[in-house]
Amino acid sequence: MTPKPKTQPEIRTITRLVPPSGNLVQGQSELAISPKLAQAAEELIKASRNHYSPAEGVGELRDAVAKKIARFNNIQVDPKAAPLELLITPGATGALIAIAHTHLKSSSALVFEPYYPYHRKILDELGGHSHVLPLHGPNLELDVDELRARCREWKDQSQFPLRAIIACSPANPTGKVFTSVELEAIAAVCQEFDLLCIADEVYEHYVVGENPHTSIATLDGMWDRTITVNSFSKSWNISGWRLGYVYGASKLIAPLNNANNVFYVCSPTPLQLALASVLMSDPNYYNVLRDRFTNKRKVAVEALTEVGFKIYESGSAFYIWARIPEGFGDAIDFNEMLISKGVAGVPGGAFADSSEFDNYMRLCIAREEDVLRGALEKIQNAIL
């Protein structure tokens, strides 16, 4: 008998159960928007720059994004290349949808557990499939032999043959920053089995640990098989603007624009132009962002450790991934207790097929300082 699928907590449902002052649930930055960015958007909207733009994005933003990629990822992308090497998309999700529709129909991709649910849901909705490979132990380590064995098995299956590995680093939900050894191993396996690598790098600017962020597309042999996905939702506090981007070799990127055009027509024109005007104007922007989140993580870790949480040292600082205190059952029961006190996170089971992470939680710390401290105080009071 086929086992009954595991019931997973629904993140948006949990979000609605707590007030904003206790919301450490949804993975979005709720910090204030840059005043310069807000002013630029206002001026462009008033100037009636509110109409269709090219599906691949306005030239101004594509130029700015190419400069950003060169500076922070050490990759040269030509924003004027034909066929296209770079697209502006409606958030990273828009890029992932275009990838699934274009490259992964009737095939499958491997995700690492704990995984980001949308990496799987998008494939399911668009005629693909996903396979789950667990990370192991308290440090969430990759077993390279297991990766190679599973890829060999799934590559040759008759239904949904394996076509890609989705490498999310830093990862949602855990914040894990893959080590250079792990990235090299993923790259080697992609080349051995002729797989695409879908590199989700949305959280690249939140790396605070000893492992630096490395774009897997820079590794030997990976440019021609890597599609890199990113977004401005988190780093610029504009999740509702739906602005992201995707880049790579033209043979992989140019076909995505068909889906980008049909599904979305274009990303919001005035918001693209506004972001283009400020994206590279402050050379210290991402350093300030990282320092701010380093402090947020320090505050959160101290508060949670005091009441019995065991914190995973992820190497990044947008999420806290932690084992709940002893004596509270699993994380679903624990979170229900927190909800009754006006605060919540996400039980680890939302990000896993197995029960391995049922005693873990994800807490989003991308909140203004007073909100974060108040929510942490609610958690402490609920436990003590």
Q: Please list, residue by residue across 351-370, b when 16 or more beta carbons sit within 10 angstroms of its beta carbon and e when fewer do.
A: bbbeeebbbbbbbbbbbeee
Q: Would you give per-residue pLDDT tens digits along the chain (384 residues)? A: 444 566 788 898 999 999 999 999 999 999 999 999 999 999 999 999 999 999 999 999 999 999 999 999 999 999 999 999 999 999 999 999 999 999 999 999 999 999 999 999 999 999 999 999 999 999 999 999 999 999 999 999 999 999 999 999 999 999 999 999 999 999 999 999 999 999 999 999 999 988 899 999 999 999 999 999 999 999 999 999 999 999 999 999 999 999 999 999 999 999 999 999 999 999 999 999 999 999 999 999 999 999 999 999 999 999 999 999 998 889 999 999 999 999 999 999 999 999 999 999 999 999 999 999 999 999 999 998
- Which residues lie across from 247 on neighbouring strands? 86, 228
Give the list of residues 6+ apart from residue 243 with CB closer than 8 angstroms, or none: 61, 88, 90, 91, 231, 232, 233, 267, 268, 271, 272, 275
Domains of the chain: 11-27+284-383 (3.90.1150.10), 36-278 (3.40.640.10)
Q: Around 285, how many Cα atoms within 13 Å sit in the side-chain half-sphere?
A: 17
Asked if residues 360 and 324 have their Cβ atoms less than 8 Å apart, the reply is yes
Helix orientation angle between 144-155 and 180-192, rounded to the nearest 10 degrees: 20
Contact 208, 179 (CB under 8 A): no
For the chain, where are the alpha helices, taking DSSP H only? 11-15, 35-46, 59-73, 91-103, 117-125, 144-155, 180-192, 250-253, 256-264, 269-278, 285-306, 331-340, 369-383
Cα–Cα distances (Å) from 328 to 18, 225, 331, 382, 383, in that order, read 20, 45, 8, 11, 9
- 242, two tokens: 């739906």
What's the length of the chain? 384
In the numeric block, which tokens belong to residue 151? 């890829």
At 2 the pLDDT is 45
For 331-350, how does the pLDDT look when each residue is reduced to its tens digit (9 = 90+)? 999 999 999 999 999 999 99
Overall pTM > 0.85: yes
Q: Per-residue DSSP letters for 199-230?
A: EE-TTGGGB-SSS----GGGSTT-GGGEEEEE
Strand 129-134 versus strand 108-113 pairing type = parallel
What mean pLDDT is reported for the chain? Answer: 96
Dist. CA 319–CA 24, nearest whole Å: 9
